[in-house]
A and B are shown apart, each in its own frame.
Chain A
Amino acid sequence: MISLIHAPASRRSLAALALALVIGVFGLPVLMLMLASVAGEWNGVFPSQLTVEHLRGAIAGDQRLTLWHSLATAVTATAVALALGAWGALAARRAPPGVQRLVDVVYFVPIALPSVSIGLALLVAFSRPPLLLNGTVTLVIVTHVVLITAYAYANAKAGLARLPAALEEMAGSLGATPHMVMLRITLPLLLPHLLAAAALGFSLSMGELGATIMLYPPRWATAPIEVFALTDRGSIFSGAAVGVVLLAGTFAALLMLDRKRFTAHLA
């Protein structure tokens, strides 16, 4: 690595500045959230009393249910989005460039749209026949699928572009049926990219608020909804506790999925 600054003293002060900026802008909010989740009473600069009551509350009763709703929604939506995204990328793979561009647009539209508007559109459309889904858990899952499929498609498409084409042709010329080539060669090679997409989709779904708040049924409130509901009622420490548990759950799941892939392919 090169450095523009050669004087050790100015190098040290710039490094200190970088660390201070990163910690101040990104680290402090995370620390505050953790501190607030264990704050019993907080009138001065620091909490005068620490407690695990809020965290215990977050993993019991109603609040635990909302975490479970988030987890179930995220796992289901991620699985469906992966299938839908990978299918589209595979089907459009050898299409003429014009068709590929069209498929790109179809898949990428939701990224550019405000999530509140997507929630409203789904609420409007599925509150009337022929598809009455208003007030169902299915509608929440469908909404999350719409919001994260683009990432599954993008990752699958990027993975396919990097696939060594000769491998599949060789398998074909050795007598493997297209079916076998797909199952034994293409999909296994695509798996790391799909796992990266799963990690991103899962974490987006776990933290989704804008579209969900437009159409969730009261019996299927997700953890982000619960954080908003708690803080709106003034129970800010309980809200922080649910937020911390939500974050911990998301990161635990991401670590399980494959940490390296996640950091290499995110975004």
Chain B
Amino acid sequence: MKPAATLGEGARAGAHDAWRPGWLSLPVAALGVVLFYPLALMSAQAFTDPDGGPGLGRFIAIVRTGLFIGALFDTVRIAFTATALCVALGFTLAILIRFVPFVGARALSRLIDAYLAFPSFLVALSLTFLYGNAGIFAAARGASSASFLYGFWGVVLAEVSYYTPFVMRPLLAALDTLDHAQLEAAGSLGETPVGVLRRIVLPATLPALLAGASLCLLLTINEFGIILVMGVKDVVTLPMLIYGKAIEQFDYAGASVVALCNIALSLGLYFACRRLVDRLPT
């Protein structure tokens, strides 16, 4: 890589409408070193036998453990449940905010934008004050039994609280571009509000809804901070398994195997969703 030389050529060339490939070499080389080289090394490490040589031995041994299969199952179960609930809640809220005019509706959608800057693990922390063993609801009920928060539904609740805005954003944008004359016409022709929603609004916003849902699925599969900070014990997801193997057991090679599977799962599901979106009739 010779960035200095390409820079000189660029300045001499004069015309600014021609593409000069040399300029790309610096950022691509930088990303190569800090992203693709690490990913390649991690993959290589996943495909080694326990004795150090290349092979599928370690990969197969880890993928067959009950811990891994359980984590894979929990990850998918949590992600799909949370995404389905995010879509339901996000759709309801987006419709209410756009179609039921009330004071502060615009400010509300601004607030939802700002919510995206909130780190996910803080949501998990604040939920422990609400629903945790010593939280408000436990105190109100006078209950001493362990809260649901530290299991499957607790994680789902935190993820729904955090990821619903990611579904709402594309939906709100799609609702803004809706042809209002069409809605008014349908209404004046006798269609009920529910009918308008089902026959006009839902089909028109379906691509945005699915785009939001696929992003939500990707993010919930890879979610880590929420589960870590909540101190969930009986649910282990793939990111938690990676963390446990690498940081608590110093088993980098084993963690690499789980990380590769996690990457394959999230990318596979994401692209499957995108293909579904692309196939929709527009």
The residues of A with any CB-CB pair to B shorter than 8 Å are 1-5, 11, 14-15, 17-19, 21-22, 25-26, 28-30, 32-33, 35-36, 42-46, 84, 87-88, 90-96, 99, 103, 106-107, 109-110, 112-118, 120-128, 131, 142, 145-146, 149, 168-169, 172, 177-179, 181, 200, 203-204, 206-210, 213-214, 224, 227-228, 231-232, 236, 239-240, 243, 246-247, 250-251, 254, 263, 266-267
Which of A87, A109, A122, A228 is within 8 Å of B228, CB to CB?
Answer: A228
Stretch at the interface among B30-38, B58-66, B202-210: B30-38
B11–A178 touching, CB < 8 Å: yes
Could you list some 9 contacts between A and B, CB below 8 A? A3-B101, A22-B112, A35-B129, A110-B35, A112-B218, A126-B38, A203-B117, A247-B122, A251-B117
Q: Which residues of B contact A121 (CB under 8 A)?
A: 35, 38-39, 41-42, 259
Which B residues from 191 to 236 make CB contacts under 8 A with A? 193, 196-197, 218, 221-222, 224-225, 228-229, 231
B35 touches which of A19, A109, A169 (Cβ 8 Å): A109
Candidates A2, A43, A149, A236; contact of B31 at CB < 8 Å: A149
Beyond A103-B28, A121-B38, A227-B229, is A214–B246 a contact (Cβ under 8 Å)?
yes
A42 to B136, CA, bound (A): 9
Q: Can you add 20 more A-B contacts, CB < 8 Å, to A43-B139, A117-B222, A213-B247?
A: A3-B99, A4-B183, A19-B108, A33-B129, A99-B24, A114-B259, A114-B263, A118-B35, A123-B252, A146-B34, A178-B13, A209-B224, A210-B225, A224-B119, A231-B125, A232-B231, A236-B128, A243-B122, A266-B113, A267-B113
Output the nearest chain B residue to A46 by Cβ-Cβ distance: B136
Q: Is B169 an interface residue (CB 8 A)?
A: yes
